Amino acid sequence: MKLKDIYASSLTLLTDLYQLTMAYGYWKQGMAEQEAVFHMYFRKNPFGGGYTVAAGLEYVVHYLQELQFEEEDLAYLATVKGTQGQPLFETSFLDYLRDMRFSCTVDAVPEGTVVFPAEPLLRVRGPLLQAQLIETPLLTIVNFQTLIATKAARITDAAKGDPVIEFGMRRAQGIDGALAATRAAYVGGADATSNLLAGKLFNIPVKGTHAHSWVQAFNTEEEAFEAYGDAFPQDSVFLVDTYNTLEGIKNAIAVAQKLQPQGFNFGGIRLDSGDLTYLSVEARKLLDAAGFTAASIVASNDLDEHIITSLKQEGAKVNVWGVGTKMVTAYDQPALGGVYKLAAIRHENGDWDYKLKLSEQRAKTSTPGILQVRRFFDGDGYQADMIYNEMAPLPKKNVIVDPLDSTRRKTVAAGTTFKELLQPVFDQGKLVYTLPELSAIKAKTKAELNLLHESIRRYLNPHSYPAGLEEGLHQYKIDLIIKLRQEQQEV
């Protein structure tokens, strides 16, 4: 199969086999249309940080809009065999899938919102079969983009207003990883990318210089710089570390001076190896002495938020940061670990039965109910988040309980301003959400981070933002845990 055919085909089978086997089982048991509620959330902020940036919702919307089994999908499923060589799915079940149209109600946290562990990023309510079927694609989309957006936000924060360019396509996890990572990096705060296809698809500014091979292709470094300056008189940034960095800086300056009478505008230099603090300081001295005070010093070379912070503390004169591998691969955490759990199912009489997954690890015990997140804030920024059950009445007193330590509680004064984080996206399969421009999402991320106390944004031992369960929901969860464990002991 050709590459272009892979990305032109239906994505409905972008899921795990067990989603289809469960769907078949629900159908066999007459449960396919039973109303259910699932929540997607994560258990721990990535990178040892104090916050996470939600991303990927636009992909989710497009996926769900196109959710329909095509004939080629059904033809493939008809060939899937069980362990005894028999067809795994009945023909009548495949007919059911053929006629299925997405009809779930989906609420989600807008992209660019800062979020915290245990908070639903997505809430899916609708027919059990459909809500189950979309688990894997929703996780693969949101987990990855949220992870990269968070990494990019940390890196951008470390740059303290300096431009950050995403340079990571060649180190990304394949084609999908490169495109989704570039998009998410922009959401997180990156200003531009070297990825041309992402620039075309997402309208992200593209930036770039030249590689060492350009310099090597000429007899001398000066010839290489002069040829590049001749080709790009208004956009030349010279990579100066092919042979000897300090000499390369001097050669770049000499060429810029030579070309200046012809209207040449010297963009600056790029450092890709060596002691970036020392070299950038020396480069700044040389550039300023030559009158090129506006020329930028771009640094690359396996940068991340920790290295950028260290370089700034050391007095480096870098003012543009090209960040590649460690941004697009989310170094040093390869996955967010988001999960998608059943939280409620509705019986024929209309009553809701709240569901909970037990675990010996408290963090892995899910929360029952039809959940919403209320964020309290004032003129100083965000104060606390309360996860609550929409179907239960709220008390006048807002008491938030840490889901991992019930002795840690925060009371929010009555009358404190708040907003609900989960916003309507689909209403019974109909899109009711207006997707914002990517630039607006990027701006939202920046605004959101500015509403967090700086102690929550720091990289080492960040302060813990108060986010937890409404006291009544916490108590209901504890009671349900006790009940289920007693029932297990009686079996």
Kind and range of the H or E element at 21?
helix 17-28
Q: How many other CB atoms sit within 10 Å of the CB of residue 195?
A: 27
Structure tokens, 402? 């840490």
Q: How far apart are CA 125 and CA 132, in angstroms?
A: 10
Walk across the sheet containing 192-193 and list its strands: 192-193, 164-166, 320-323, 296-299, 266-271, 236-239
Of 281, 284, 325, the closest CA to residue 304 belongs to 325
- Could you tell me how far CA 8 lies from the centroid of its own chain? 24
Please, are residues 168 and 327 in contact by the beta-carbon 8 Å criterion?
yes
Nearest to 60 by CA among 177, 138, 175: 138
- Show me where the domains of the chain are located: 1-30+68-101, 149-328
C-alpha dist (Å) from residue 477 to 254, 286, 368, 472: 71, 65, 7, 9
For the record, the structure tokens of 19 come out as: 């989603």
Long-range Cβ pairs for the range 446-454 (8 Å, 24+): 446/189, 448/53, 448/112, 448/113, 448/114, 449/51, 449/114, 449/153, 449/157, 450/381, 451/114, 451/377, 451/381, 451/382, 452/50, 452/51, 452/114, 452/381, 452/382, 453/381
From first to last of its 491 residues, the chain has per-residue pLDDT tens of 465 665 778 899 999 999 999 999 999 999 999 999 999 999 999 999 999 999 999 999 999 999 999 999 999 999 999 999 999 999 999 999 999 999 999 999 999 999 999 999 999 999 999 999 999 999 999 999 999 999 999 999 999 999 999 999 999 999 999 999 999 999 999 999 999 999 999 999 999 999 999 999 999 999 999 999 999 999 999 999 999 999 999 999 999 999 999 999 999 999 999 999 999 999 999 999 999 999 999 999 899 999 999 999 999 999 999 999 999 999 999 999 999 999 999 999 999 999 999 888 888 899 999 999 999 999 999 999 999 999 999 988 999 999 999 999 999 999 999 999 999 999 999 999 999 999 999 999 999 999 999 999 999 899 999 999 999 999 999 999 999 998 877 75
Q: How far apart are CA 266 and CA 438, in angstroms?
A: 31
pTM for the predicted model, two decimal places: 0.96
Write the CA distances from 393 to 184, 308, 397, 402, 467, integer angstroms: 37, 48, 12, 20, 20
SS3 assignment, position 117: coil
Calculate the alpha carbon distances from 118 to 217, 226, 405, 440, 468 in Å: 54, 56, 13, 26, 8
Architecture, CATH, for domain 149-328: Alpha-Beta Barrel (3.20)
CA–CA distance, 227 with 217 (Å, rounded to integer) = 11
